[in-house]
């Protein structure tokens, strides 16, 4: 069968039964937003998501076909890790990264003496402690910091580029509980009413 032992790279995923329909409807909603907001180019639409970065992989693995790049497994363990928040615009421009580390203070983040620390700062990277949660996952606080420290300045730069200081913009997120919470949505409406929120349908993020 040309199979060999392979390390797991992602958890098994189940899509909605009507996945094609919900993805098509999401596409229509995005197209309507681009039209209604009169976006001049893709710089004003950003997709953002979180991903776990593991320091040292454990010995878990499974059998799979040789040469495949993605290996699915259920119940994959988390090891020592941090959360990387990655955003990219529809124009193909990557935004600076936010990295979330377990801890309450900046002491839990990389040292200023770390290799390439200055390079990361020059590129606009943000290292933040998760706060009181006791883990390295994103939360309300870190999401608000992402918007205020990374996303809004990015949009402001492109507003200035096109000479439209009031140009409205859009942020596309998945349906994670923090992203769709009343707390986050209310905070966005109060502080950044010119950034609308679009959502990837639940269970459809890989698509």
| 82 touches 100 (CB < 8 A) | yes
Q: What is the mean pLDDT of residues 180-205?
A: 93
Question: Does residue 144 lie within any of the structural domains?
Answer: yes
The neighbour count for residue 151, using CB atoms within 10 Å, is 22
82: part of which helix (H) or strand (E)? strand 81-89
Which has more confidence, 106 or 167? 167
Question: Does residue 8 lie within any of the structural domains?
Answer: no
pLDDT tens digits, residue range 72-85? 665 555 457 899 99
Question: Does residue 4 lie within any of the structural domains?
Answer: no
CA 6 from chain center: how many Å? 27
Residues 19, 137: Cα–Cα separation, whole Å: 28
Q: Which CATH number fits the domain that encloses residue 177?
A: 3.30.420
Question: Does residue 178 lie within any of the structural domains?
Answer: yes
Q: What is the C-alpha R_g of the chain?
A: 19
* This prediction's pTM: 0.81
Query: Which domain covers residue 144, as residue numbers?
Result: 16-50+78-199
Question: Does residue 118 lie within any of the structural domains?
Answer: yes
Q: Into how many domains does the chain fold?
A: 1
Question: Does residue 128 lie within any of the structural domains?
Answer: yes
Which has more confidence, 3 or 122? 122
32: part of which helix (H) or strand (E)? helix 19-36
């Amino acid at each position: 069968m040309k199979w060999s032992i392979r390390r797991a790279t992602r958890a098994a995923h189940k899509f909605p039964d009507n996945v094609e329909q919900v993805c098509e409807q999401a596409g229509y909603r995005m197209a309507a937003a681009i039209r209604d907001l009169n976006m001049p180019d893709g710089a004003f639409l950003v997709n953002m998501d979180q991903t776990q970065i593991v320091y040292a992989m454990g010995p878990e693995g499974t059998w799979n076909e040789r040469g495949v790049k993605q290996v699915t497994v259920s119940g994959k363990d988390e090891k020592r890790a941090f959360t990387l928040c990655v955003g990219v615009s529809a124009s193909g421009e990557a935004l600076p990264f936010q990295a979330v580390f377990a801890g309450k203070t900046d002491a839990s983040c990389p040292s200023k003496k770390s290799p390439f620390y200055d390079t990361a700062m020059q590129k606009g990277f943000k290292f933040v402690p998760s706060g009181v949660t006791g883990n390295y996952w994103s939360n309300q606080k870190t999401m608000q910091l992402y918007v205020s420290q990374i996303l809004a300045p990015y949009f402001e730069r492109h507003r200035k580029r096109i000479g439209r200081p009031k140009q409205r913009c859009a942020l596309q997120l998945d349906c994670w509980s923090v992203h769709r919470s009343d707390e986050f949505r209310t905070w966005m409406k109060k502080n950044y009413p010119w950034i609308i929120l679009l959502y990837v349908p639940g269970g459809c993020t890989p698509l």
